[in-house]
Structures are given as C-alpha cells and as structure tokens.
Amino acid sequence: MPDFDEDVRLDTSQVEDRRGFGGRGAVAGVGGGAGLIVLIITLLLGGNPLPNDPAPAAHEGAGQTASGNLTQDCKVGADANQQEDCRIVGYVNSIQSYWTSEFERRNIRYRPSRTALFTEYTETACGGASSQVGPFYCPIDQVIYIDLAFFDELRQKFGAQAGPFAEAYVLAHEYGHHVQDLQGKLDQIQGDREGPQSTAVRSELQADCFAGVWTHHATQTGYIDKLTQADIEDGLDAAAAVGDDRIQKRTQGQVNSESWTHGSSAQRQRWFLNGYKSGLVADCDTFNGSI
C-alpha cells in the first residue's frame, strides 16, 4: 500500500461527498435490469456515459455533502494511511498536483476537476447515473464520479486483487480523460466508438498511459512517500481486469474485438507501463500509429 507523507495537508475541496444521498434509479435513457451488464462492459472506466441524453430533473440531495466527515477526518497524510476515503482525497490531490505542474511547465493553466463520491445513484450534467456504470468522467461538468463499491465489483466479478493502488490507477485514468478534455482530444472520438483501432479505444489507452505517467511522478508531488513494486503490480492487475477481451470472455464466453471500446488487457497494461517507465506525456500518443 502506498505510504503518504504523514504531515502533508489534504485538500478535501477537490472531493465532493454525496454518499448517503443515493437512491435507486435508472440510468437516463438506458433500461434497467439485464441491460446494465451491457452498460458495464461498454463503459467500465470510460469517459462520458451519456453524451446524448438530456439530464433529468435534479435528484434529491445531488450536489450536497452527505456529512462533514471528509473535512473533519481527512486533514493530513496520516489520515490517508488509515482511511479509504481519505486515501482517495490524497490520490486526487497528488494526481492534480502533478498535472498542475505539467501544464505550468508548458505555460498552460490546468483547470482542476472535482471527484464526486456517491452511493447507488447520482445526478450529473451528463444525466442520471447508477453505480453500475462504473467510474466515469463527465466532460460537461468536468467532474469524475465514482461509487467506491466499484472496487468490490472488481474483486468479486472481475477477479482483480483491487488493492489500494488499484484505486489510484482508476482515479489517475479518469483524470487522464480530464486532461484529454482540456486538450480537446475527447472531441476527436465523435462516432468512432467501437473496434480495436477506434478513436474511443485510443482515448482509453492514452488515459491508461497518463495514469502511468502520474505514477512515475507520484512521489515527487509531495503527497506520497513511496511506491512499491507490489503497488505497480496492483495497478497492472486492475488494468488487466478491465480489458475488453477479459470482460467479454467472462460475461459472454467469447471475444469480439469489433465491439471493443477500451482495449485488451494486454494493451491496457502495456500503455500504463509505457507511461510509468518513461514518465513522459510525449510517449502517450495513442492517436497516431500502432496501438
């Protein structure tokens, strides 16, 4: 498990806690029941889950803080070493610290994104979302949404170890989409959303690579003291667990690359490692050449 600097101050303003205000509701424009497994396959660790659906009426409690626990409990790195939700705050702080520095190095202002924690259901600018869609980034409000129960799903349904650094990988991947959004790259996807060479797959693999780049620099952000090889393997295991081929084989019994939206397990691991080993954003150009 990553060790946070015990004295580093955590910025809880980057994480919105909606837990406790969830409810049972359908994803806007998507049928419930068996249809949700298709949604999971398509959207796991994806970008915008509902790009064409209008947002429904505001859900009760949406946007509110379920309690003051994050502010009260997550003050310093020592808290992140002890509590999962404080660890999430620490990861978010570290990831955004890195991207702020990287953008400044290029004389560009980085616009921070919040992470919203929720349970079961929440409203977003992209529409209503249940926890079954998995973690996702909504480019309309530029917020990352995650139900932390997702990591139980990774373990129980997808066979991942889903240790603490799997959380970091998932968050860093979603912040990779935010970086793409700031760079205008999400607009390149358009209707090219399926297939092994699709722009959607290229976008997902770049987000994996960006996650690796942050991992390379994580200990330089001032939040994380050290990462171990076990941490890296935890991230790689999570990347493999959400590969299209592995999910298809587990849920359908066969693999059809023409319906891929995120890339294979091997691709996701390879691009994460590319970013981790070099630490260079320039080595994450998945939009050109072979992937």
- How far apart are alpha carbons 250 and 43 in whole angstroms? 16
Provide mean pLDDT across the span 199-226: 97
- How far apart are alpha carbons 58 and 60 in whole angstroms? 6
Mean pLDDT of the chain, nearest integer: 86
**Predicted TM-score of the model (pTM):** 0.86
Neighbours of 7 (CB within 10 A): 8
Percent of the chain with pLDDT over 90: 74
Q: Which of 67-76, 255-264, 268-277 has the lowest mean pLDDT?
A: 67-76
pLDDT range class, residue 172, cuts 50, 70, 90? very high
Q: Which neighbouring-strand residues pair with 46?
A: 136
Three-state DSSP string of 61-95: CCCCCCCCHHHHHCCEHHHHCCCHHHHHHHHHHHH
pLDDT recorded at residue 42: 38
pLDDT range class, residue 159, cuts 50, 70, 90? confident
User: 189 versus 115: which is more confidently predicted?
Assistant: 115
- Whether the per-residue pLDDT at 217 is higher than 90: the answer is yes
